[in-house]
Amino acid sequence: MLGLDTRALRVIWTALVVAATLGLIYVLRHLLVLLAFSVFLAYLVFPLVSIVQRVFHVRHRAVAIGLVYLAVFGVLFGGSAALVPMLTDEATALAQRLPEMSKRVQSGEIIGELLRRYGWEASTIASIERAVRAHAQDLAGQAQAVVTAGLKWLASAWMVVLVPIFAFFILKDRERLAVAVEGVIDSRAGRGLWREIVGDVDQVLGNYVRALIVLCVVTFVVWSVLFYVAGVPYALLLAAIGGALEFVPVVGPVTAGVIVVAVSLFAGFTHPWLLVGFLVLWRGVQDYVTSPLIMGKGVELHPAVVIFCVLAGGEIGGVPGMFLAVPVFAAVKIIGQRLGLRKAESSRPTLVVAAPDTKAPRSTRPD
């Protein structure tokens, strides 16, 4: 056909299928993001549902899920009632000072004051101020665009409403969904491979989700206490920003650190370098102590791969894509490892040992 052999046609067909699949994923990316966040919430709630069923002997999982939803949303609303007024006061105070801060930053005045405090030469300070004035407008516009996009996404009512609904059905029918997919697979070996992949991905994603929640809560609590004791301006607001940005690997913590140092510096905090030292030390504790201890094995990715995944996810899906890139890549990695291991086992030669012939005549010694 068209002068092409069967192998070339198979390669072209595979490439076309892959391209069509990637195009469909891109078109449905918003719906897939919704589904991914529903799975995230399901993994977060599932341990609580299991505890409710086991402790209170609730036979119907739907009832247990409803009880957990009531408890979780009750805690969230109660915590919001206590924290939101304080966060609102600090955010209002910061918003009132932002125009003045922005003006001083764009003029280079605040940078010059900081450098003079540490004894820099006047000519060097003047050069830095000119560079800041030349590029401050572009940087401010980019930052405003990023913040606006993030707030617009967070304000999407359909995300807030549909994610818990989808998570409810995922929790309620998770075993039924797995069995339905398994029933489509014909071979016994394929069904076994499917169960192994589902088990591995389930464990890794569960550990990842729970680790993220713990890292966010720990960051918020520790930063709130230390910033308040050290007299950092807007301590609770900056701690909340740091805890929220823990959800985005690599880029989130770096962005939080820049925001904390910049706001505290421009607000007149007298020890910014101690704050920088604390943030660097805290990043090391989170990355090399807290995260491995909570997350366990299974999400070991090279830092360069993590950065690439986050940037690629941001290009495809914005802020949600940055958040979901690492767990999706980790799941794909596990699937590839399982498929490779199964292929290696199937291609391994088997050694067949012949059984001894028990019917052979016994040798008799002559008398």
Per-residue model confidence (pLDDT) at position 367 = 45
Question: Is residue 318 a part of any domain in this protein?
Answer: yes
Question: Is residue 60 a part of any domain in this protein?
Answer: no
Question: Is residue 202 a part of any domain in this protein?
Answer: yes
Query: Would you say residue 8 has pLDDT above 90?
Result: no
Q: What integer is the mean pLDDT of 172-192?
A: 81
Query: Would you say residue 366 has pLDDT above 60?
Result: no
Per-chain mean pLDDT for the chain: 79
Query: Would you say residue 302 has pLDDT above 80?
Result: no
224 or 120, higher pLDDT: 224
Does the pTM surpass 0.75? The reply is: no
Question: Is residue 300 a part of any domain in this protein?
Answer: yes
232-278 pLDDT, tens per residue? Answer: 999 999 999 999 889 888 888 988 998 898 888 878 787 888 899 99
Query: Would you say residue 201 has pLDDT above 80?
Result: yes
Q: What integer is the mean pLDDT of 153-157?
A: 55
Identity at 141, one-letter amino acid code: G
Q: What integer is the mean pLDDT of 123-150?
A: 62
For the chain, how many structural domains are there in total? 1
Query: Would you say residue 279 has pLDDT above 90?
Result: yes
Q: Is 271 helix (H, G, I), strand (E, B) or coil?
A: coil
Distance of alpha carbon 88 from alpha carbon 177, whole angstroms: 43
Residues 35/166, Cβ–Cβ less than 8 Å:
yes
Question: Is residue 32 a part of any domain in this protein?
Answer: no
CA 104 to chain centre: 35
Please write down the HEC assignment for all residues of the chain: CCCCCHHHHHHHHHHHHHHHHHHHHHHCHHHHHHHHHHHHHHHHHHHHHHHHHHHCCCCCHHHHHHHHHHHHHHHHHHHHHHHHHHHHHHHHHHHHHHHHHHHHHHHCHHHHHHHHHCCCCHHHHHHHHHHHHHHHHHHHHHHHHHHHHHHHHHCCHHHHHHHHHHHHHHHHCHHHHHHHHHHHCCCHHHHHHHHHHHHHHHHHHHHHHHHHHHHHHHHHHHHHHHHHHHCCCCHHHHHHHHHHHCCCCCHHHHHHHHHHHHHHHHCCCCCHHHHHHHHHHHHHHHHHHHHHHHHCCCCCCCHHHHHHHHHHHHHHHHHHHHHHHHHHHHHHHHHHHHHHHHHHHHHCCCCCCCCCCCCCCCCCCCC
Question: Is residue 282 a part of any domain in this protein?
Answer: yes
Question: Is residue 246 a part of any domain in this protein?
Answer: yes
Per-residue model confidence (pLDDT) at position 120 = 67
Residues 75/84, Cβ–Cβ less than 8 Å:
no
Question: Is residue 144 a part of any domain in this protein?
Answer: no
Per-residue model confidence (pLDDT) at position 111 = 66
Distance of alpha carbon 26 from alpha carbon 45, whole angstroms: 29
Distance of alpha carbon 301 from alpha carbon 292, whole angstroms: 12
319-332 pLDDT, tens per residue? Answer: 778 888 888 888 88
Residue 340 lies in domain: 174-345
CA 311 to chain centre: 13
